Amino acid sequence: MKLHYPFGPAPEGKDVLWRCEAKRYSVVIDPDADRYSVTPPRLEMTWWLVDHRTPKGAWVCGKFVLLTATKKWACETEEQALESFKARKRKQIGILTAQLAYAQRQLALTEPNHVELFA
């Protein structure tokens, strides 16, 4: 696993929160032919300067991050940010898997020998 730091290293001695995301960027293949593509995804770890802390969270770029919550927009450490990213992706996979199963059941309704079962 390789992490990229688009903002560079966090400033030493400054209070920061961390967020990890998978990013892809648009690239121009041939501007004359209007051909574009995207880069492969990569993990980016970004840091955000804390403007102000409260007993329950912190203000970052005009946004309040509730640090006592299970789901946080940003985390105290890089390790927590990586675990938060993994949890978000697991949740997304679960949602998309359920949506896929639902779409497959709906498609099965079009089959000539389909039998509706009540579960």
Residue partners of 41: CB distance under 8 A and separation at least 6: 22, 23, 24
**What does the DSSP assignment read for 1-42?**
--EE-TT-SPPTT--EEEEEEEE--EEEEEGGGTEEEEPPPE
Q: What is the DSSP letter of 75?
A: B
Distance, CA of 69 to CA of 9 (rounded, Å): 26
pLDDT tens for the chain, 119 residues: list them. 899 999 999 999 999 999 999 999 999 988 888 899 999 999 999 999 999 999 999 999 999 999 999 899 999 999 999 999 999 999 999 999 999 999 999 999 998 887 776 65
Rounded Cα gap, residues 9 and 88, in angstroms: 24
Distance CA 22, CA 4 (A): 10
pTM: 0.83
Distance CA 101, CA 90 (A): 17
